[in-house]
């Protein structure tokens, strides 16, 4: 089974902080690759376009490694805005950003909330692949999804496609799914193995 998912701005927290460039001189000595070229403490960045706030990022520490084209963020939080209102926000204990591809690996307890879809995602680690616009959880780690209607799903092998606005699990899944009005046809499909137990309204899976 797949469900709608808003296009998450996971890469946003990275792209907001990579525009600056510096002349670092000669940095070819031993061990230099493990020494950050730039360290920023208590960072807050606000992106504004046409007088409207697009996003806000906060991080306790940001480290940038030019030779490895890598940026590390520690204890960061971001908000995405739509017409002046917060549309999505998230946090993680840390993140590693590949500056060439803009792929992001988040870890240390990840929480994302998309208010337009009334959905919350929680997991220990999560990877954003920017080019295909995919959000991928750990292959052997649980991802928890909550909605305000009472839906609670816990599964392994989480994967979300931001272009198609769909998400799915490749491994075991359990929980309670509350069907939306007019969603009976979709619920009857039973596309993914192991999801049949929570396809009916407010039915507990895995019983």
CB neighbour burial string for 21-56, b if at least 16 within 10 angstroms, e if fewer: eeeeeeeeeeeeeeebeeebeebebeeeeeeeebbb
Asked if pLDDT for residue 197 goes beyond 70, the answer is no
pLDDT tier, 12 (very low <50, low <70, confident <90, very high otherwise): very low
Residue 136 confidence (pLDDT): 93
pLDDT tier, 31 (very low <50, low <70, confident <90, very high otherwise): low
Residue 116 CA to residue 89 CA, distance in Å, equals 11
**Segment 55-70 mean pLDDT:** 89
- Between 2.40.160.20, 3.40.50.2300, 3.40.190.10, 2.60.450.10, what CATH number should domain 3-23+32-204 receive? 2.60.450.10
Q: Where are the domains of the chain?
A: 3-23+32-204
Are 127 and 112 contacting, i.e. CB atoms less than 8 angstroms apart? no
**Segment 62-85 mean pLDDT:** 88
Q: Could you tell me the pTM of the whole model?
A: 0.68
Bigger pLDDT: 4 or 182?
Answer: 182
Per residue in 162-171, pLDDT (tens digit) is: 888 888 999 9
Are 111 and 91 contacting, i.e. CB atoms less than 8 angstroms apart? yes
Residue 123 CA to residue 137 CA, distance in Å, equals 7
pLDDT tier, 3 (very low <50, low <70, confident <90, very high otherwise): very low
**Segment 87-91 mean pLDDT:** 89
Asked if pLDDT for residue 71 goes beyond 70, the answer is yes
- Most trustworthy range by pLDDT among 5-9, 29-33, 102-106, 188-192: 102-106
Min mean pLDDT across 74-83, 111-120, 127-136, 181-190 is at 181-190
Residue 33 confidence (pLDDT): 65
Residue 27 confidence (pLDDT): 52
Cα-Cα-Cα-Cα torsion 81, 2, 150, 199, nearest 10 degrees, comes to 170
Residue 138 CA to residue 185 CA, distance in Å, equals 30
């Amino acid at each position: 089974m797949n469900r709608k998912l808003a296009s998450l701005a996971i890469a946003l927290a990275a792209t907001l902080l990579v525009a600056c460039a510096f002349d670092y001189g000669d940095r070819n000595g031993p061990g230099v690759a493990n020494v950050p070229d730039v360290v920023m403490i208590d960072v807050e960045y606000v992106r504004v376009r046409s007088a409207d706030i697009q996003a806000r990022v906060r991080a306790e520490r940001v480290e940038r490694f030019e030779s490895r084209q890598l940026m590390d963020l520690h204890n960061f939080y971001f908000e995405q805005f739509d017409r002046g209102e917060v549309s999505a926000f998230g946090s993680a204990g840390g993140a590693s950003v590949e500056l060439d591809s803009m792929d992001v690996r988040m870890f240390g307890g990840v929480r994302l909330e998309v208010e337009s879809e009334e959905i919350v995602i929680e997991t220990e680690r999560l990877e954003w692949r920017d080019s295909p616009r995919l959000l991928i959880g750990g292959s052997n780690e649980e991802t928890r999804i909550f909605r305000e209607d009472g839906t609670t799903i816990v599964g392994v092998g989480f994967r979300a496609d931001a272009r198609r606005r769909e998400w799915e699990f490749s491994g075991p899944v359990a929980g309670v799914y509350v069907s939306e009005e007019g969603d009976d046809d979709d619920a009857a499909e039973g596309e993914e193995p192991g999801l049949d137990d929570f396809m009916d309204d407010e039915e507990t899976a895995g019983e």
